[in-house]
Structure 1
Amino acid sequence: MARKKSYKTEASRTLLDDILDFVKVFAISAIVILLFVNFIAHPVTVVGHSMDPTLQNGEYGFTSVISPMVSDPSRGDIVVVNQKNEQGETERWVKRVIGLPGETIECRNGKVYVDGVVLDESSYLKQDFIDEALAKYKADHGQQDYGTFNYDFSPVTLGEDEYWVMGDNRMNSKDSREIGPIKKDEIYGMGVLVLYPFNAMGVK
């Protein structure tokens, strides 16, 4: 009789029981997603062409928001920084770290120098892209000679908590060349995991 009673109890699950189970699973999943989005990674959409050709306008993915809390960015890292626009609203810019705390950054004849040594940017800035970008700019603006891909700026020595960031597309990027160095606490995320479009999927 005991077995029979147990069978009836198991079989007598109601629709309400199933709904409650579903709600529990849904609630736990929602909490996990919220924790992931707010404390581990956060969605990011690339807006504009300042990071061409590395990141394209409209690409969507995630940036690690926990990384800036546990480590310092290195030269060459892609970061998402918080900046205020003219309306006082916070915008998130995707840029590349060029200069680190204590270093002196400058640009002469289109070449970036770090502490007097030319910075090798060939891993993310290919000559083909530079030539194409210069040609396009000249054609779009009706200019015979634009100058260099990267305009010159005077030496800037970074403080102990300052970073110099720039877009890869130097002719189409608002960055430290205009706003100056950024503070560590302005770095919102590090790295971008592109999920869409699918043909661009990967960690940048």
Structure 2
Amino acid sequence: MRIPVRWSAPRRCAPVAALAACLFAAGTAAAQAPSAPPALPADGVAAAACPAILQHTFPRLQDEKPQSLCQYAGKVVLVVNTASFCGFTPQYKGLEALDSKYRSRGLVVLGFPSNDFSQESGSNKEIADFCESTFGVKFPMFAKSSVRGANANPLFKQLALASGTTPKWNFYKYLIGRDGKVVQAWSSMTAPDESAFVKVIESQLAAGS
């Protein structure tokens, strides 16, 4: 008895030459495809464009969300350590006036509350509320941290190294130029509206603008 055999059509195989041509075309297309652009950090500034002194992230004062300082690359940056219960606390008003007047020209004031001199005991929210309600502060401020000694935050460690001086009291001031280099440091005695101080800021704003 003959057993029937099920027959199926053979699969069609591509000719060797056609297959080789296909593989070559695919490889050529892959080689010619543009590479993906380098990923940018959340603030949209490439690390290479951000000077080392600004390559830090700190929690914001008002909501404690992380914020990169790289967004201030290319600006003239005035960094100040602040406190709510100090004889120099009224300088908040002058600092806000500076930031408001020169913001469009590229200045930004950055405030860093600190209890290093035992004059900033409040919580971040309490500090934020005080600054806004008492002096109308709108310039960026960051969560309370140490600004001197072994526990200083990394920005103030770099500022001390670059300027050769650490904050001796609240409202010490450091100016960073558009190129990311520390220009000068001033003591708490220097008022934000002092003419010599303002002239240095204006000269830095004019440079590279």
Same fold (TM over 0.5): no
TM-score w.r.t. length of structure 2: 0.32
Larger relative contact order (Cα-Cα within 8 Å, sequence gap ≥ 6): 1
**TM-score between the two structures when normalised by the length of structure 1:** 0.32
